Structure 1
């Protein structure tokens, strides 16, 4: 070939050849004759013979002298994949037909494939296995059965949903064929599967079209060549775990350690102040779970907190899916170490899971996937929750569940995938139900949008998806039925937790920067637009929103982009809550969340958290854009694009979470002095009682090895006849009065009525000792207790104590 022509034509026909001296000539005669006779139908065309180092006279067949036939050659034989890569790379057609040299599918079948592309598909596969196909000349029966078995293995393990991957008659859109073949790595027969996988990952629709097919004598594809295809694919999968993947995993782990660096290296003595009291609560959750496991007690309940009524642990976010496996760590190293390790590793694992999903389903470019997964796992709302809520940052099961649901849509192995999905869902219930509900909302939004933009795929997918979901539900429900019964109807269960009329985001919070932004953080603004530092649920920043808008406009033709854009926008609007107040005005409009706000399950959701759904959606949009930028040849476009990505992401880089020296546990607790004051069945009563605003006593309890019980506490429990969910134990007269004294420093007039009520409440709590630690207004507390008990407290082990036993 003297020179590479660059003008675009209508159709390229690529014929791979190796030692095809006998069959290539008749094939070229048939192809050129058909295309010449139908010139008006196919326009400008070319035929490219890709010779893979033939050792016979393949390169000298006379038909290669045809003016529209060109020959490209490989210096040595490497395999069909190598030949196809050469031929497709040399093509110029808007459409590219790949056909084997034996022309087992007649060239006239091109009409059927072209019709499929005209209907919106990007590739059409000639198939011998779909209804309407015709086989004129069968292979030997044994050979045919072995071939079918091999093809079954390929389609079930590599390209679910496509019945005949190996038929050598395929029509592609030219540019996408050149991209897919250029990205391929296999030199053997497995390239057909590898290219189809590329089309699937890129969300390019593929049609399987029935064709006439006839077995040709001298075929080089034997039944055992399917084993070679499987071996090729196995090698491809082995190579798929590249050094880049190990590097990415290491980077995510380092990022998680850096985020927690203020506490990670000394978890016993460091506290995350932005967690408010949640770090104390979560360490207690890990500690009590480990204690229940060690003593073979019910892991769904305890009376160590909220004594004597107790705490329904299943109705609280104890994350049994991790606190149980981490029980040995908790017992050996303590709950502070276990929680710190769990949150750090869990955050890194979540990022790796998003990376895996993006590489598998969205883009192949590792750097693009890394950026997308970084945004999904380390976005500002995730960093905010990283202070205090492991159930909202340890989400590694969600990408796995998404992938399994997508497998169901393919319609193969529905039973197996449904069973696995059910097991995954059951495990996620024990990791976090509210994040699971939010993920389900996000998946529903995405599925609805994708079904609208790709109705053809939706028609094919809904039946196997529904069947798989039903199977998954049948597997999941028996595993979670009893724990859920305990959660909603067991001891200390409650109806719902109320968060006020509107816990939605301000529209401004979607554009603002989070407090922990390394370069743009503004604590005053962030706190004004959020419930507290652990609930900065949006804060994506206006540069990222602008970049996402530009990505959607530029790549609007891609169905995946449109579906992701709808998911992000819909989730953001839902996160504004049932009432949406326009910024800087008093105008309020009803929000779409109002339709769900009072429905079971949804009524307990903090609606602002719905904005967290945007993180993976925006991450995938970012990955798609970066992948496209990396492939562009326009230097200016690449420069401006990457500059925009940098400017959008830089303000989102998080600073390490704030940490502070932890308040020491009083010697009265740490040295075991409490043991002589608290008898069997009694409780130690810190005053004021521990609650969500002051739960340091939970740390005392874990430091004492859970040796005593506490009234009050930080948990969700029932209140009143309607069993409405509240934070903490049901208040009593004495606990309310002493709480007021602790906050105001004002001691009310205490007479016989208050003294009698205190005796009732102390008896209800089965109190053995009252304890007041140094704090604001502790003098007032001591005076109140002196009047209630009739005697002064005793300074012991760094606290004031009142022994309530006779003679104490």
Structure 2
């Protein structure tokens, strides 16, 4: 016999409340249930291994009314397991699940029933919203904890539903049995799992405000929300394919191999091709961790450039990475923290590119892995891997790209807009210039794809515009103050000077980088600013392969868009002017119109070629997916071999690492504390600058116990506050720098001595420190002449104690 309604009640040790609940449900259904009084309904109680009289109470009701049924579990397995047993045993055209405490009165069924009549697959009782009635509240703390947990659940799992955990839900019977058959969870999380299933299968869900009253003895505890999140996380983990895990492990192995020279002894190894950047970045991690520990302003410090300080927001401190890694920095030091962040960050970047390619481009895992590897481990990325984490830890860029594509689909514009805003906010605290370059790449791709598929562009324009507006509304309030501080706060600057030769040579696009398998240090050095800025160097075999792929797959709109993105980005990377190879002809470059625009004026234009890496990776993924699905075995093998041969020359080599210079005992043993008083600075000779920043390593080794004048950072210079690398020059810092470079001590005049006294007073210098180095004799003679007294050899360095007169 068919049944119009099944009511499922999960019960565990409910002897006190179950009897009145069953009586109330039966009375209501007989009077106002389906088909009116005496209508066709059934009531299923699932005893989840109770140890009290729950089963006996149900049996008594079953003997009194054959429409009541008892299902028993051999042991307590959780609410999810009980619900699954009850729903799968149901026969009703509609299925109501309700808790044994009847916190939502059975009379509220009428509201949910109307929602199903209107065409929804499920109607869930909601305690949220103005129309809901809360007749008896929980303890205030319990309620706050519950709301917080529910917020996390609905944000992570089912956005758009305000109350996922109310135990009063009505389903279309077939939809319910299908969803609970597909469910896997046995705990509280089954509510969310079932709602996720219905949402993903396109079934509409109505959220209906209901009356609700807290019942004493409730089995739900505030921390059960944590259990729900844990269950959902485990459920998600079970859906990960073994191939995906293997690919992630491969990317992590590649990243660890790349940094293997440092992992042998992170604190004692240095990447010489990072120039002074490793010292700078370790300092960034150390100062951020120190600010977090002491609850100080993370946007400013006077540890460098004393006493003026450094605007940290205007520098690449990567608060989105250095703050989460603060505990690692505290426990193991900034050297290991930086190495771990870069190793894991590079692997995570490859994983998110892989995820994007699998989701949006090709299903073949091997093809997607090859494309993601090229996107994350391309020569420009390896160049920045020396010590520019802001340009190689880019795991948010594929996530931002995917969320923008979701906006184009227009299915959940508000949710996707909010998430895009949060993603963008986080990326701003990882790196603003990479975000700008990524936006340029997405704009180039969108323009080309829109031209190739005008119908798609027209349909996507409205939801995309609306979603971007929502994203901006989310992002701006979150970043308003940090960006204000960056552009208008202490030690802010207008733009950074990079010189006139920061663009790529066309030859750089076809050549091999220094750390590639086929790389040549001499050629790469001639075509780049330095080893950390080899921003092209894809090699002619890959360029030829990309050309062949585009020709072969030209009919696809995505291939046209990717090809345009590669060409446009490569062309823009030539800078405001470039020389035609093998000639003296200099032409205006495509970057010229952008060169003096806000934000763009601070970009090193050769970096725009980094946009080519993911686009080339996607072209390779498309080609491999086509080849690996080809029926002709010989053609398949030849094609795959061709792709492999084109990529082989740019396979990255492990980064070179050397023994690090020892920190002088004067610093390492803490002797400096006897010479630097409160509010004073330690002045290295010469002062630290972008060319020689070893003193920053001294500072981190001393747990940031003293401040330094000078340093390696971006700061203002002159009345126009133009951005420069390092501190604003002073007479004495310039003099000592010139002696270090030329190796010759100048004739010191009384004007030099007066300038030195003024500079030392400005720096509030407690002691000058000269460590053994090239031209240290000339430096020592110069300082002795400036101060008119000899230095003192203390714990491996020459010092001049300024407390004894200058």
Quickly name the TM-score band, shorter chain normalised.
0.7 to 0.9
Equivalence for 2:345: 346
How many Å apart are 1:580 and its aligned residue? 2.2
Deviation for aligned residue 1:147: 9.4
SS of residue paired to 2:663: coil
Shift of 1:221: 11
Q: Quote the offset at 1:149 in angstroms.
A: 2.8
- Alpha-carbon contact 1:712-1:729 (below 8 Å) kept: yes
Distance 1:554 1:690 in 2: 54
RMSD: 2.2
Q: Following the alignment from structure 1 to structure 2, what is the Cα–Cα distance between the partners of residues 143 and 222? A: 18
Q: CA deviation at 1:775?
A: 1.1
The answer as to whether partners of 2:511 and 2:538 remain within 8 angstroms in 1 is yes
Q: Which range moved further: 325-334 or 224-233?
A: 224-233
Whole-angstrom distance in 1 between the partners of 2:622 and 2:358: 10
1:637 shift after superposition: 2.0
Distance 2:241 2:117 in 1: 33
Q: 1:147 to 1:626 in 2, by over 3 A?
A: farther
* CA displacement at 1:258 relative to structure 2: 0.1
The reply to whether residue 360 of structure 1 matches residue 359 of structure 2 is: yes
1:502 Cα deviation from its structure 2 partner = 3.2
Match of 1:56 in 2: none
Q: Which runs of 5+ in 1 are unaligned?
A: 1-140, 154-219
* 1:422 corresponds to 2:440: no
Query: In structure 1, how many angstroms separate the alpha carbons of the residues matched to 2:236 and 2:327?
Result: 35
Whole-Å Cα distance in 2 between the matches of residues 660 and 629 of structure 1? 43
1:268 partner SS: helix
Distance across 2 between alignment mates of 1:325 and 1:276 = 26
Aligned partner of residue 805 in structure 1, secondary structure? helix
Distance 2:117 2:433 in 1: 49
2:761 maps to 1:790? no
**Which range moved further: 502-511 or 635-644?**
635-644
Query: Paired residue for 2:120?
Result: 149
1:167-182 equivalences in 2 (<5 Å): none
1:147 and 1:224 in contact (8 A); partners too: no
Partners of 1:708 and 1:237 in 2: how far apart? 48
Distance in 2 (CA, whole Å) between partners of 1:571 and 1:630 is 29
User: Could you give the per-residue CA deviations for residues 273-304 of structure 1, whole angstroms, max 9, x where no partner exists?
Assistant: 00000000000000000011111100000000
The residue aligned with 2:689 is: 691
- Residues 681 and 355 (structure 1 numbering): CA distance in 2 closer, same or farther, change over 3 Å? same
Q: Deviations over 1:89-126 (max 9, x none)?
A: xxxxxxxxxxxxxxxxxxxxxxxxxxxxxxxxxxxxxx
> How far is 1:708 from its partner?
0.5
* Closer/same/farther in 2, CA of residues 243 and 684 from structure 1, 3 Å limit: same
Q: In the aligned structure 2, how far is the partner of 1:146 from the partner of 1:269?
A: 71
The correspondence for 1:665, drawn from 663, 666, 670, is 663
Paired position in structure 1 for 2:673: 675
Matches within 5 A, 1:201-600: 227=179, 241-518=240-517, 520-600=518-598
> Helix, strand or coil for the counterpart of 2:266?
coil
CA contact (8 A) 1:307 1:710 kept: yes
The 1:644/1:751 distance shift into structure 2, 3 A limit, reads same
Structure 1 consecutive aligned stretches of length 4 or more whose deviation exceeds 6 Å? 141-144, 232-239
Distance of 1:150 and 1:767 partners within structure 2? 75
Name which of 704, 721, 733 aligns with 1:723: 721
SS in 2 for 1:691: coil
Structure-2-length-normalised TM-score? 0.72
Alignment match, 2:736: 738
CA distance in 1, matches of 2:614, 2:791: 56
Tell me if the contact between 2:504 and 2:606 (Cα under 8 Å) persists in the aligned partners: yes
- Asked if 2 retains the 8 angstrom alpha-carbon contact of 1:670 and 1:704, the reply is yes
Instruction: Write the distance in 2 (CA, Å) between the matches of 1:144 and 1:307.
Output: 67
* 1:69-80 mapped onto 2 (5 Å cutoff): none
Tell me the CA shift for residue 636 of structure 1. Answer: 3.0
Once the two structures are TM-superposed, the CA of residue 742 in structure 1 deviates from its matched residue by 1.2
Offset at residue 145 of structure 1 (A):
4.6
Structure 2 counterpart SS, 1:768: strand
Q: Is the 2:116–2:122 contact (alpha carbons within 8 Å) kept by the matching residues of 1?
A: no
- Within 1, Cα distance between the matches of 2:410 and 2:692? 53
Task: Kindly indicate whether residue 672 of structure 2 is the aligned counterpart of residue 701 of structure 1.
Answer: no
Is the 1:372–1:622 contact (alpha carbons within 8 Å) kept by the matching residues of 2? yes
8 Å CA contact 2:276–2:692 kept in 1: the answer is yes
Unaligned regions of 5+ residues in structure 2, if any? 1-111, 125-171, 183-195, 202-231
**SS at 1:431 equivalent:** coil
Contact 2:116-2:123 at 8 Å conserved across structures: no
TM-score by length of 1: 0.72
